[in-house]
Amino acid sequence: MNEGTKTGVFWGIAIVMMVIAAIVAWPKSTDEPDTIAGRQLFEDFTDPLAAANMKIVTFDEEQGTLDTFEVRKERETQLWTIPSRDGYPADALEQMKDAANALVGLKILDIQTSNAEDHDDLGVAEPKLEDLEVGDEGVGRLVSFKDQSQETLASLIIGDAVKDDPEKRYVRIPGQDPVYVVKLDESPLTTNFQDWIEDDLLQLSSIDISDMEIKDYSASLGPGGQISLTRNYAATVELDGSQWKLKDLIEFDPKNPLADPTPVQVGDDQELNKTKLDAMKNALDDLKIADVVRKPEGMSATLRANQDLLSDKDAVGSLAQRGFYPVPSGPQGEVEILSANGELSVALGDGVKYIMRFGNIAGVSNRGDSSTSGDDGDDSDEVDTGVNRYLLVTTMVDESKFPPPELKPVPQTLEDLEELLRPKQPEPTDDAGEGDTEPDTDGGSEGEPSDDNDTPAESTPETTPGDDDAPETSDDAADEPASQEPAESSQEQEVNAPSETSGESESTGSGEASGSGQAQQEDSTPENSTEQQDSTEQQNAVAEATEEAAEKDSSPQDAATSDGPETPESSSEADQADKKPDPKPETPADEELTQEEKMERLEAEQEKITKENQRKLDARKDRIEEAERRVRDLNARFADWYYVIPEDTYSQLRIKRDELFQSADEAALETDAPPIGTPQFNFPGVPGN
């Protein structure tokens, strides 16, 4: 083979290789949507619960910086935290599942382009700080999910919305050129801090608030590091139902804040400002977290510190920047944290007491709803727009809510047992007095006894004392005092109930008591004389029955209890009640017990009372332990953080001295004005209507 032939063969082979290489490297056609549409973008990402980490990176065009928001499940504790907020606890179980589900099963609807030059126009440029400058546009949001071993489950750059269909978005997988069209709900992919935490700061209900203690003072850092303190007043108010009551109020000398305060006497005409206090109560219930910043080391959960904190310039600077000033307090070298704008203590009925101290304004942020973690002394980690306020909060157990229970004395001797059991016996009442009760000379009141042989004294109507013409009934009846007549009438009705002439007898008895003229008229005929004799015999029988009943009755006060004559049924019930045994059998029964039986009863009573007392002590102990557990849980949450709260909420939690009481105009308006929504009518005939 000559040289020309060899050269031709080599060139032929080279041409063939170039053609093959060109075919292999030729880009896929974008005109093949049927092979792409309907496919899942992340076919291996099927379980949203496998996601243990989410990171969202966005680009701030004005600042030329990247903002990172991250939520992660800690491998050791299996608790959700927010690393971009110094590891603040996250309430992320459901939120993370919803966010991961946004990418699970995400289907490709179309391919918009495979040209990298179109990325900026579609908003899917990758947020890489080394490739970006201030003012760059078209940068997308990078969303990444990883599992517990930090293996990537899905990563996606989310760009602009499709012009004709806002529910569709342009998206791109990092490192790849094709831009896909998908239908994506990105609302769960939020970087709003409040969406990922329990934002109810205090976790209390306003109906549980029992009292509040207001300490109105201000502190500031002066020249040379001196703390200037101005104290205004302190007040404690308690909630009784829906009404506020003042427990105490003291004021301080503005020229000498360290002098002893002066108690303030409040007039009866001064009423607490219910509107303002109710607003404070409701604001406590609705208090939300706007942001958090980690506190410096050396501060305890009780807002106290040790001397080491004072020597830590960075820690002192962190506190002072946010309006909190450590000052020595107490003989043990403890350090108390004063606040720039006073404090508020709130006690609940369950014994948990919150202490809140208000610091400086947190500043204004215009960075939207995402941020990066800043240094401790830098306010770059504030998030929410608008003015906010720093707050320190802690809790403690309020011992005043757990007074010692009243315990029953345990008897040690038989005499103690007898003394303990004695109050159980029924005591005399006004309706059944003892025999030594003085008789009522004026006729007495209903149920009031006279002496041992008399029934309760009652006046005898229609009988005129000193009427010599009134006929006598019998010697036995004459011996009975006037107060006995109601009982006799009751007995008379019982005896004469079967008789058809009982009405005549009662009429005759009434006639005898009415006067001598009628009696003489009835005696003028033999028939009337016979009836009177029959009536006299009946009355004698009644008197004898009364005496027999009195002898059988051991309680004199039970002889008569009604105001007037009883019916046969009521009289019978009274007799049955009289025949019941005396309800005081304990004394004779005790006398029959042997010494051994008495000691057994003493031991039984000792055991009973001891158990009852122990139940009371255990109930108090359980309540205290529940309050202590609640305090531990809350302080574990509060201990490491400065909280940032909205300024408008702070303004509701502060009350000035001149706002504590209603003004005269407000009180008059509240008294005179009809309630809102109450209809008003013009009354006819009244001038001016």
Q: What is the DSSP string of 31-70?
A: T-GGGTTT-BSSTT---GGG--EEEEEEEETTTTEEEEEE
What pLDDT, on a 0 to 100 scale, did the predictor assign at position 445? 41
Of 129, 120, 283, 99, nearest to 191 (Cα)? 99
Q: Distance between CA 304 and CA 334 in Å, rounded?
A: 7
122 and 112 in contact (C-beta within 8 Å)? yes
Q: Residue type for 679, please?
A: P
For the chain, what are the domain ranges? Answer: 33-196, 206-402+635-669, 475-560
Q: Distance between CA 630 and CA 624 in Å, rounded?
A: 10
What pLDDT, on a 0 to 100 scale, did the predictor assign at position 3? 64
3-state secondary structure (DSSP) of residue 672: helix
> What is the DSSP secondary structure assignment for residue 144, as one 8-state letter?
E
Q: Residue type for 493, please?
A: Q
The alpha carbon of residue 381 and the mean position of all alpha carbons in its chain are separated, in whole angstroms, by: 34
What pLDDT, on a 0 to 100 scale, did the predictor assign at position 364? 54
580 and 509 in contact (C-beta within 8 Å)? no
Q: How many residues does the chain have?
A: 689
**For helices 595-638 and 414-421, angle between their N-to-C axes, nearest 10 degrees:** 70
Element (H, E) at 544: helix 526-552
483 and 456 in contact (C-beta within 8 Å)? yes
3-state secondary structure (DSSP) of residue 329: strand
Q: The sheet that has 352-363: what strands, in order across it?
A: 262-263, 243-251, 227-240, 209-221, 343-348, 352-363, 388-397, 641-646, 291-294
Q: Distance between CA 559 and CA 484 in Å, rounded?
A: 9
Structure tokens at 145: 């999910």
Q: Residue type for 449, please?
A: P
Q: The sheet that has 304-305: what strands, in order across it?
A: 304-305, 334-339, 324-329
**For helices 502-514 and 485-496, angle between their N-to-C axes, nearest 10 degrees:** 160
Q: Give burial (CB, 10 Å; 0-12/13-18/19+) of 121.
A: middle
Q: Distance between CA 377 and CA 367 in Å, rounded?
A: 18
Of 632, 652, 631, 603, nearest to 278 (Cα)? 652
What pLDDT, on a 0 to 100 scale, did the predictor assign at position 258? 77
**For helices 526-552 and 485-496, angle between their N-to-C axes, nearest 10 degrees:** 110
Neighbours of 58 (CB within 10 A): 22
Within 8 A by CB and 6+ apart from 126, the residues are 119, 139, 140, 142, 157, 174
Q: Give burial (CB, 10 Å; 0-12/13-18/19+) of 252.
A: buried
Element (H, E) at 236: strand 227-240
Dihedral angle computed from the Cα positions of residues 453, 454, 456 and 458, in that order, rounded to the nearest 10 degrees: 180
For residue 125, the cross-strand partners are: 139
Per-run averaged pLDDT (10 residues), the chain, 689 residues: 64 70 50 69 94 95 90 93 93 94 95 93 90 85 95 96 93 95 94 93 95 95 84 95 94 84 89 95 95 85 75 87 86 82 96 96 55 40 66 95 94 86 62 46 42 42 42 42 41 40 40 40 43 53 54 44 44 48 48 82 93 96 97 93 95 94 64 44 38
For residue 87, the cross-strand partners are: none
What pLDDT, on a 0 to 100 scale, did the predictor assign at position 15? 75
Element (H, E) at 492: helix 485-496
